[in-house]
Structure 1
Amino acid sequence: MSKRESSKYKLDRRMGENIWGRPKSPVNRREYGPGQHGQRRKGKLSDFGVQLRAKQKLKGYYGDISEKQFRKTYDEANRMKGDTPENLIGLLEQRLDAIVYRAKFVPTIFAARQFVNHGHVTVNGKRVNIGSYRCKAGDVIAVKEKSKQLALVIEASQLAERDVPEYIEVDHHKMSATFVRIPTLSDVPYAVVMEPNLVVEFYSR
């Protein structure tokens, strides 16, 4: 098992939740955390602990973004007008790797970042190889012609475990997707409950 795979599943077990709703998640078999102390009874989390867990879960969901990058996204959401938790979710869902994942061009968010980094994706006809690139409403994201026959892409488009959300229109024959609008929290098809309000509380301490 690759390092990326093991860290992905370790995150699931640390949280005790199947974050991405994957059938192979070890949480489906054992809900305790990884490591030799994983089965110890867990005490009640403090308010700080609850907030930290919410932050780790949301950060981990988007491919375990670095703390620096995640904090930067929060700061931007905080400066924007409107509801900060909603702004945070909107900014995260505008990431190119998140849209590639949502459009079912690849099976996992980790694969999405690697897929973008390796130059397999275009935005409005231009190649973009930065996973954190922020898309705007109306942008057309497509898989490059040479990359459409990759086994990874074919497998992902046939996955029955998740659906493409309404804020992205996808044509799997052409392997292109249009980012229709910036979603709200209720629009995003998380497999588990995400609490961006607790993330805001964590950073505003």
Structure 2
Amino acid sequence: MSKRASSKYKIDRRMGENIWGRPKSPVNRREYGPGQHGQRRKGKLSDFGVQLKAKQKLKGYYGDISEKQFRATYDEAARRKGDTPENLIGLLESRLDAIVYRAKFVPTIFAARQFVNHGHVKVNGVRVNIGSYRCKAGDVIEVKDKSKQLAIVLEAVSLAERDVPDYVEADHSKMKATFIRVPTLADVPYAVVMEPHLVIEFYSR
């Protein structure tokens, strides 16, 4: 389970944005940051500060991935041919926990990682309990039979606040999803603007 799961709302407030688009986000009521100094007027961010915030926002969106893991994802994106920002988004969206979240098997990305870690998910018929497992186009992700009636699963399926994107094909009657293709930045249904090019600039300094 993510170390920051209990503090996920602080990420919204630290960023000053409702990055998952949740109705319960405290940013909907308080747009200032957490803590006793959160209401102080913010100065203009430097270029470095803008890049750092973009990195923290993208890293936080995927369940506050560890810096080591996020840096490794960047390194892989930079190593691959093509546009590095697009590669970065494609790699992040190929994570098993991200696909479980996109398929609406669970309500939040934090719950997705815990759900995978606890062994509730199979990929191509084989149980996988690593949230960062990288799926390939055509992989079939399904909830184990014994886990299909869990309250968290039933709650997620009924959520109206987000839809399943077209690069994931989900069958909620069977609790099975197919990762159709690796998406581009334009395909991903972020609730706020993500700027992966600034993340690339941050690590390229």
- Give distance in 1, aligned partners of 2:20 and 2:108: 8
Counterpart of 1:33 in 2: which secondary structure? coil
CA-atom RMSD, angstroms? 0.8
The answer for the alignment partner of 1:111 in structure 2 is: 111
The answer for the alignment partner of 1:204 in structure 2 is: 204
**Percent of pairs identical after alignment?**
88
- Give distance in 1, aligned partners of 2:195 and 2:185: 9
CA gap of 1:114–1:5, structure 2 versus 1, over 3 A, is closer
The answer for the alignment partner of 1:73 in structure 2 is: 73
The Cα shift of 1:7 comes to 1.1
- Give distance in 2, aligned partners of 1:184 and 1:20: 18
The answer for the alignment partner of 1:37 in structure 2 is: 37
* Structure 1 unmatched ranges of 5 or more: none
CA deviation vs aligned residue, 1:153-181 (integer Å, no higher than 9, x gap): 00000100000000000000000000000
Instruction: Report if the CA contact (8 A) 2:101-2:112 is conserved.
Output: yes
More divergent stretch after superposition (3-12 vs 97-106): 3-12
The Cα shift of 1:123 comes to 0.1
- Give distance in 1, aligned partners of 2:46 and 2:104: 37
Counterpart of 2:142 in 1: which secondary structure? strand
Relative to the length of structure 2, the TM-score reads 0.98
Runs of 4+ with >3 A deviation: 3-6
CA deviation vs aligned residue, 1:16-65 (integer Å, no higher than 9, x gap): 00010010000000100000000000000000000000000000000000
- Give distance in 1, aligned partners of 2:174 and 2:6: 33
Relative to the length of structure 1, the TM-score reads 0.98
- Give distance in 2, aligned partners of 1:81 and 1:43: 38
The Cα shift of 1:5 comes to 4.9
Instruction: Report if the CA contact (8 A) 2:5-2:63 is conserved.
Output: no
Q: Match for 1:16: what amino acid?
A: G
**2:167 maps to 1:129:** no
The answer for the alignment partner of 1:139 in structure 2 is: 139
Q: Match for 1:88: what amino acid?
A: L
The Cα shift of 1:6 comes to 4.0
Counterpart of 1:85 in 2: which secondary structure? helix
The answer for the alignment partner of 1:94 in structure 2 is: 94
